[in-house]
Amino acid sequence: MRTFPMFLQMADRRVVIIGGGEQAAQKTRLILKTEASVDIWAPALDPELSGLAVEGRITHQTGPITPDTFSDTALVFIASGCPGIDMALHWLAKAGGATVNVVDQPRLCDAITPSIVDRDPVVVAIGTEGTAPVLARQIKTRLEEVLEPRLGDLAALAGRMRGAAAARLGPRARRDLWRWVFTDAPRQLFTSGSERAAAKLIKTAIETGDFGATKGGSVSLVGAGPGAKDLITLRGVQRLQEADVIYYDRLLDPEILELARRDAERIYVGKSPGCHSWPQEKITQTLVAAAKRGQRVVRLKCGDPGVFARSTEETDALKASDIPFEIVPGVTAACAAAASAGQSLTERGNIDTLVLTTGHRQSGSTVPDAIKDIKPGRCVALYMAVGAAPQIVAHLETCHPDVPFDVQVVAKAQRKRQTVLNCPLGDLAQILNLHDITGEAMLFVRWPFDVQASNGASMRVPAIV
């Protein structure tokens, strides 16, 4: 980021606006939403600003402008309408120690005015560092549609009750309370116009501590997808925002962790090939211990927790300890890799069977049974199979010498350094070496119904209808 987003305290502070035309009026409308006082310096004011001055909502100044004009200000907006005058005024404002925004001149701006979604006291600011104001307005429009008009009033009500909640409930219970308020019955009541009923429901929940929250710890096994931040599910994001502690894997996009609440503890438990600094047994024991302490735990896994992610060992331990858990699915690597290559995993009339398998077992790299038993009409998606590539090639060339298999390799799918390669079966080892692919790759071996043998004979196998 070239700019840092921040909200300024404006109560009882002074804002100076230079200019009396439409640009100055736009900034005045914005600042009058706050509790700041507004001084406008201009020889004359347009009708809108004149009316505000008559009402006493702004102060109109016509005297000389000096560096002292800008002293003790929260913000200064310069909008004279003349670029040359604006540049000179910018110099005077900086000499007076002000934080300055010069309208339509980003290079002279200390502060950039964002697009704002106003649900006071809930305020959403959208900035593009001056590069794409139209995009900022589009995002604003979407958010205006999503956030109900009375949401700010509900937030204000919650703010008035924070003291009572802090006096009666512990930190974990307070988080659960406010999560319930903003996602469950209180918000629904407030949105429908039943403000009093919502307020009564919240007060009762604070007094009794009963709002449907889980009292003890729990574990969510969350699939983060293939690595890219925007491929985690909405439910996965929600669990990250609720977590007290997050145990996360290798290969994740670090930006995914930015989706978690800031004070959640983050613990790396990644296992690199040949370097198991966190054995699975230790990870499992740690999840159980954290949940027994009453923490809300997220086990963040690459891909989908149910596909080659050793989730069964973790869920068995959680069941044995009577700890509530859930599995939040994610985009598995086979789907992500095929999408990266622009190819479907199945194809009507050619591929009607999809097999997900692995080339790495406890004993090491091996030819999986799905390759040994490959038949026409199948696509075999191989996880963790780069090490087994030579054995896979040798097996297929020996057992099916007349089938012209093509292999697709997708490394680092859906990530910035993604690589998609297609090659004949016999060139696989050379291709992997040439592109230095040693891991983080999916291999696809397809045998369509309709292929030509290397001797030119048709090998079509009729589909079963």
pLDDT digits (tens, 9 = 90+) for 415-428: 888 999 999 999 99
Q: How many percent of the chain have pLDDT more than 70?
A: 94
Quote the CA–CA distance of 461 and 128 in Å, as a whole number: 57
Cα angle at 448 between 443 and 454, to 5 degrees? 95
What confidence category does residue 66 fall into, taking pLDDT thresholds of 50, 70 and 90? Answer: very high
Phi-psi region of 449 (alpha: psi -120 to 50; beta: other; left: phi over 0): alpha
pLDDT at 215: 62
Is the bond preceding 121 in cis, omega lying within 30 degrees of 0?
A: yes
Q: Which amino acid is at 129?
A: E
Using the structure block, give the residue that is written with the tokens 């909200």: 7
pLDDT at 453: 57
Beta strands in 57-99, from DSSP E residues, in sequence order? 59-61, 75-78
Which residues does 112 contact at the CB level (< 8 Å), separation at least 6? 3, 101, 106, 127, 129, 130
Bridge partners of 39, per DSSP, are 16, 59
Closest to 370 in 3D by CA, of 402, 392, 344: 392
CATH topology of domain 337-447: 3.30.950
Burial 134-154 (b: 16+ CB within 10 A, else e): eebeebbeeeeeeeeeebbbb
What confidence category does residue 272 fall into, taking pLDDT thresholds of 50, 70 and 90? Answer: low
Quote the CA–CA distance of 465 and 353 in Å, as a whole number: 14
Q: By the 8 A CB rule, do 379 and 351 touch?
A: yes
Q: Is the pLDDT of residue 289 over 60?
A: yes
Residues with catalytic function: 249, 271
Q: Where are the domains of the chain?
A: 14-113, 151-208, 218-331, 337-447
β-pair type (406-411, 360-361): unpaired
Q: Is the pLDDT of residue 251 over 80?
A: no
Q: Is the pLDDT of residue 465 over 80?
A: no
Cα angle at 47 between 46 and 53, to 5 degrees? 90
Q: Pick the most confident of 193-197, 407-411, 455-459.
A: 407-411
Q: What is the pLDDT of residues 366-408, one digit of tens each?
A: 898 999 999 999 999 999 999 999 999 999 999 999 999 989 9
Closest to 349 in 3D by CA, of 226, 246, 449, 233: 449
Q: What is the pLDDT of residues 176-197, one digit of tens each?
A: 899 899 988 899 889 888 899 9
**What's the rounded mean pLDDT across residues 145-168?**
94
Q: By the 8 A CB rule, do 215 and 176 touch?
A: no
DSSP letter at 351 equals B
The CA-atom distances, in angstroms, between 79 and each of 83, 98, 169, 194, 316 are 9, 15, 50, 44, 66
pLDDT at 214: 57
User: What's the whole-number average pLDDT of the chain?
Assistant: 90
Strand, coil or helix: 294:
coil
- H or E element at residue 266: strand 265-268
Quote the CA–CA distance of 288 and 346 in Å, as a whole number: 39
Quote the CA–CA distance of 395 and 400 in Å, as a whole number: 8
**What's the rounded mean pLDDT across residues 22-46?**
95
> In the numeric block, which tokens belong to residue 129?
């560092």
Round the CA-based radius of gyration of the chain to a whole number and report it.
Answer: 31
Quote the CA–CA distance of 101 and 89 in Å, as a whole number: 11
Closest to 324 in 3D by CA, of 302, 300, 301, 292: 292
| String of DSSP letters for 92-134 | HHHHTT--EEETT-GGG-SS-PPEEEEETTEEEEE--TTS-HH
> In the numeric block, which tokens belong to residue 381?
């998606």
Which residues does 96 contact at the CB level (< 8 Å), separation at least 6? 66, 67, 68, 69, 70, 71, 73
Q: Where are the alpha helices (DSSP H) in 228-367?
A: 234-242, 280-292, 311-320, 333-340
pLDDT at 131: 85
- The highest-level CATH class for domain 218-331 is alpha beta
> In the numeric block, which tokens belong to residue 365?
């790299």
**What's the rounded mean pLDDT across residues 56-77?**
95
Of the ranges 19-23, 82-86, 251-255, which one carries the lowest mean pLDDT score?
Answer: 251-255
Q: Is the pLDDT of residue 326 over 70?
A: yes
Q: Is the pLDDT of residue 222 over 80?
A: yes
pLDDT at 339: 94
Q: How many percent of the chain have pLDDT more than 90?
A: 69
Q: Is the pLDDT of residue 461 over 50?
A: no
Quote the CA–CA distance of 388 and 359 in Å, as a whole number: 6
**What's the rounded mean pLDDT across residues 244-270?**
87
More confident site: 362 or 56: 56
What confidence category does residue 458 fall into, taking pLDDT thresholds of 50, 70 and 90? Answer: very low
pLDDT at 330: 95
Q: By the 8 A CB rule, do 344 and 316 touch?
A: no
Q: By the 8 A CB rule, do 88 and 67 touch?
A: no
Q: Is the pLDDT of residue 213 over 80?
A: no
Q: Is the pLDDT of residue 144 over 90?
A: yes
pLDDT at 457: 47
Quote the CA–CA distance of 185 and 197 in Å, as a whole number: 10
Q: Is the pLDDT of residue 319 over 50?
A: yes
What confidence category does residue 329 fall into, taking pLDDT thresholds of 50, 70 and 90? Answer: very high
Strand, coil or helix: 446:
strand
pLDDT at 464: 33
pLDDT at 463: 38
Q: By the 8 A CB rule, do 86 and 102 touch?
A: yes
Bridge partners of 327, per DSSP, are 221
The CATH number of 14-113, from 3.30.565.10, 3.30.300.30, 3.40.600.10, 3.40.50.720, is 3.40.50.720
Bridge partners of 298, per DSSP, are 220, 246
pLDDT at 415: 86
Q: Is the pLDDT of residue 12 over 90?
A: yes
